[in-house]
Structure 1
Amino acid sequence: MHDENKITDYDENKITNYDENEISNYVKDINKPKEDFNKSKKRKNRGMRTFFKGVAFVLIAAVSGTIGSYVLVDHKFKNIESFKQTTNEKDKNRNIITTSSQTWGDTINKVAKEVGPSVVGVSNHAENFYGSQLKGSGSGIIFDKNGYIVTNYHVIEGASKITVKLSNGKTYDAKLIGSDPRTDLAVIKIDGSNFPAAKFGDSSKVKVGDIAIAIGNPLGDEFAGSVTSGIISAVNRKMTVGEAEYKVLQTDAAINPGNSGGALCNENGEIIGINSLKIGTNKNAEGMGFAITMNSAKGIIDSLMKYGQVARPELGITGASVESRDGKIKGVGIQSVIPGSGAEKAGLSSGDVILEFDDKKISSVEEIRSTIEKHKIGDKINCKIYRNGKTKNIKIQLSDSSKINSTENQIG
């Protein structure tokens, strides 16, 4: 343990601890030169210690400064690198957004340029006391270079004269090749050749979220060739408007009156649907446009080109869903039977109720139609009917719709 009464002194050869009495005796015996020499020695040693302390301070300061500078520079360097990385990421994101926007815009530009010339205006003229008057207008798509055009049936319905206006402004008279009210499709033709023809796509490959581009003449010639874009909102929709049935694609691309018969395109410029109708005007629903799927339209178009009408299996009745008050009788009540149809030949009559069709209980017109679609012309279908309080089983042979006097509102 350290003794506070002892003082440590410096000697050339050793360091010795002395108490106060020893110091006094030592001072008396030592001579003056020795004392002066020791004092000089001590001053020199103090100077050396001061010098070394100064050097040590400078070295420590230098090392500390170097370390501090390194830490500071390293910190700043890391901040700079972090800033650069963040900036690069932001630039990259901006580039992605810009590229995405440019790609979307470029796609629409490309499709509009490629498909636009094949989309035409179709006008429906009717004769009256004052002569030929414009009844309405819509759009159409040239699908064959020899002037064949597909449009909606309701666009040309009841027309005494049909005219077609191309994207270059030229107008042609057109003739009706064939129509199918049930699917709201019609084929017309203008004279000439080498017309710009659109390419049909495969609508079965369309997915929700795909780009959808609509081209047509909304509100007439004044807005001819209008292009709107959006996405596919839904696929495989089935809709019934009046007695017409639709297999449609749903899109949020704007489809307005006059767009009917126009093109709904994918990003490759292929026609994936024929714009047909828009709902929502009286239901406060926006962004709901519909187009007949191209795959369902292809067979109709081919049939109209060959026969002027669609050959499909037909039952040959009109009717509606019915149900007795007690709920025991439920099915489709027959309102009328088409002359020459399989239903007439099988003995069906007005007032009968179809309880089962193709060995399945049914309660709606749609169920009968869906069943018929799975069969072909000439197939025989088992049917159970209710008549005058009794049930009866009969077989009905499906007719060829092109050979009977089909009506727009018949079931099938």
Structure 2
Amino acid sequence: MNDDKNQSVRDTKWENVGNDEGKIKFINSKKKSNIKKIIKMLSFILIAAVSGGISGCYVTNKIESNRTYTQNKQTLTKSGKNADETDKIEKQNQNSGNNNSINKVAELVGPTVVGISNKSQGYFGDEDTGSGSGIIIDSKGYIVTNYHVIKDADKVTVKLSSGKILNASIQGVDERSDLAVIKVSADNLPQATLGDSAKVKVGDTAIAIGNPLGEEFAGSVTAGIISALNRKIEYNGSVYKVIQTDAAINPGNSGGPLCNSNGEVIGINSLKMGTSENAEGMGFAISINEAKSIINTLMNKGKVARPYLGIYGESVASEDSKIHGIYIQEVERESGAARAGIKPTDILLEFDGKKVLRLDDVQEIIDSHKVGDKVKCKILRNGNTIEVNVDLLEMP
């Protein structure tokens, strides 16, 4: 009995709660022990929850990572894309980003574009009779422009992007292609990079640089897209194979460059359709691939030797539509046709083994030949069909 009492005393904490009243309060230590157990249990549960969350997150991320890797691997396997293909796509994306870098093209090509003034002698000295643009194609001073820009000029001057004005000499002209090469006495000039117009596609970015309406607006930059390729445009009696663009090309832009997004010249701005006041966004440029050989010939020889047949006529057809051809109205003296015995009133049925219905058909075939080539012609004369061989001579 005493032992139990002593044990109870040992398990009891004594606390004096007030000396004035002399009362004593007993606090059982077992309650404190229970609280500690509850705290320990809550701590354990909290630690377990945190550990479980971390482990679950790690496992989930690992599974998701493996799943993503598997999906990417399947996608690459299905599409057949390897590392090289990925690099190719990244480069294409980078190139597509350059389509908006018109300012970079302007900075690159702008210094190679010049203003050209066509001057003639008047009562009060030299007078400006026309202006246009040009492209420096060689650092030694060779500049390409349109023939009509310097046509009938007594004097030609060039204004560089730096503002310096130089006299220019005419190196060579080709009226049919509307191209000309002039030269200034200068070295180390910035020169343009000629591109490949065969790679141009409809919808590509097109950037035109030039001097629309004269030197007052020198270095103007306009941009648009390639609207069409291989357009055939008749202008001043000649047929041009050109690139069509909606980039604004105004009088004075003639002879300036049409560029792609890489700053390469893909065409030489030549014409602006003016047959209708309502026609907008229709500019034209001579494709650079057609111009390259002509430019090189003009630089080296001063002219382009072109073959020709020497006939004039119109399309005809018999009443039963069995006979189609070109009724020859005139034959030029000393031409290949004249020397071969072709006469007015003859009807040209075939040229170089191909049926011809229009003079354009004949010209297209001639363009595929060179001076000195021999071509077979099938002719209808007085109801009889004859064949003659014609030597294509140099166009005077």
Q: TM-score, normalised by structure 1?
A: 0.68
Task: Report 1:7-406 matches (<5 A).
Answer: 104-105=99-100, 107-280=101-274, 282-317=276-311, 319-323=312-316, 326=319, 330-387=324-381, 390-401=384-395, 405=396
2:99 & 2:339 partners in 1: Cα distance?
58
Contact map agreement 1:119 1:167 (CA 8 A) in 2: yes
* Percentage of identical aligned residues: 58
> Is there any run of 5+ residues in structure 2 with no aligned partner, and where?
1-93
1:347 to 1:293, Cα distance in 2 relative to 1, 3 A: same
2:119 & 2:322 partners in 1: Cα distance?
51
- What is the one-letter code of the residue matched to 2:184? I
1:212-256 Cα deviation digits (max 9, x unpaired): 100000000111100000111111222221322222111110001
Counterpart of 2:70 in structure 1 is none
- What is the one-letter code of the residue matched to 2:347? V
1:203 to 1:102, Cα distance in 2 relative to 1, 3 A: closer
1:137 & 1:222 partners in 2: Cα distance?
11
**Superposition deviation, residue 207 in structure 1:** 0.8
- What is the one-letter code of the residue matched to 1:205? K
Three-state SS of the structure 2 residue aligned to 1:200 is coil
Three-state SS of the structure 1 residue aligned to 2:198 is helix
1:132-174 Cα deviation digits (max 9, x unpaired): 2211111110100011011011111111111111111111111
1:357 to 1:103, Cα distance in 2 relative to 1, 3 A: closer
**Superposition deviation, residue 272 in structure 1:** 0.3
1:215 & 1:323 partners in 2: Cα distance?
45
- What is the one-letter code of the residue matched to 2:109? V
**For the pair shown, which has the larger CA radius of gyration, 1 or 2?**
1
Three-state SS of the structure 1 residue aligned to 2:338 is helix
2:244 & 2:315 partners in 1: Cα distance?
31
1:354-375 Cα deviation digits (max 9, x unpaired): 2221222211111111112233
**Superposition deviation, residue 377 in structure 1:** 2.9
2:387 & 2:99 partners in 1: Cα distance?
59
- What is the one-letter code of the residue matched to 2:120? A
Contact map agreement 2:347 2:381 (CA 8 A) in 1: yes
1:179-223 Cα deviation digits (max 9, x unpaired): 111111111111111111101000000111111100000000111
1:380-410 Cα deviation digits (max 9, x unpaired): 2111224455543211112234xxx2xxxxx
**Superposition deviation, residue 294 in structure 1:** 0.3
2:114 & 2:278 partners in 1: Cα distance?
30
Contact map agreement 2:318 2:324 (CA 8 A) in 1: no
2:335 & 2:299 partners in 1: Cα distance?
24
1:316 to 1:302, Cα distance in 2 relative to 1, 3 A: farther
1:199 to 1:373, Cα distance in 2 relative to 1, 3 A: same
1:335 & 1:309 partners in 2: Cα distance?
30
1:252 to 1:379, Cα distance in 2 relative to 1, 3 A: same
2:297 & 2:192 partners in 1: Cα distance?
19
Contact map agreement 1:280 1:288 (CA 8 A) in 2: no
1:240 to 1:345, Cα distance in 2 relative to 1, 3 A: same
Q: TM-score, normalised by structure 2?
A: 0.71
Contact map agreement 2:249 2:283 (CA 8 A) in 1: yes
Three-state SS of the structure 2 residue aligned to 1:218 is coil
- What is the one-letter code of the residue matched to 1:152? N
1:388 to 1:133, Cα distance in 2 relative to 1, 3 A: farther
- What is the one-letter code of the residue matched to 1:246? Y
* Aligned length, in residue pairs: 302
Contact map agreement 2:130 2:149 (CA 8 A) in 1: yes
> Is there any run of 5+ residues in structure 1 with no aligned partner, and where?
1-98, 406-412
